[in-house]
Amino acid sequence: SHWVLEAPREAFFNLRRLRKIPIKWAMYQMKEFLHIKRCSTCQAYGHTANSRECKFTTPFCGCCGLRHNTRNCRNDELYCINCAEKQQKSRH
């Protein structure tokens, strides 16, 4: 079975040092889980397409960066919109 716990920063670091959590006389292994929000419309991080925070209505592809849904992409060349905006290497 799996449990998902959310904890304040200091408590999380203390638990992570232990690597195991005691619950009702049993010890459970702990693994860090990070969920980073990424918008499927504009590909930006920090919000989702359903969240009203996205100012775009036409999607950008998460693979090639062109204006179509990621699931419909037929382009072999990869292009990262987020890296390109920061003037970083974007062909990955």
**This model's pTM is above 0.75:** no
Cα separations (Å) of 87 from 2, 17, 36, 91? 40, 37, 22, 12
On whether both 49 and 68 belong to a single domain, the answer is: yes
Residue 85: predicted pLDDT: 84
On whether both 27 and 50 belong to a single domain, the answer is: no
Residue 64: predicted pLDDT: 94
Does 50 map to a domain? yes
74 confidence band (pLDDT: 50, 70, 90): very high
On whether both 15 and 52 belong to a single domain, the answer is: no
Residue 67: predicted pLDDT: 94
Condensed to tens digits (0 to 9), the pLDDT of residues 9-18 reads: 898 888 888 8
What is the total count of domains within the chain? 2
- Asked if the model's pLDDT at residue 1 lies above 80, the reply is no
Task: Please give the helix or strand (H or E) that residue 23 lies within, else none.
Answer: strand 20-23
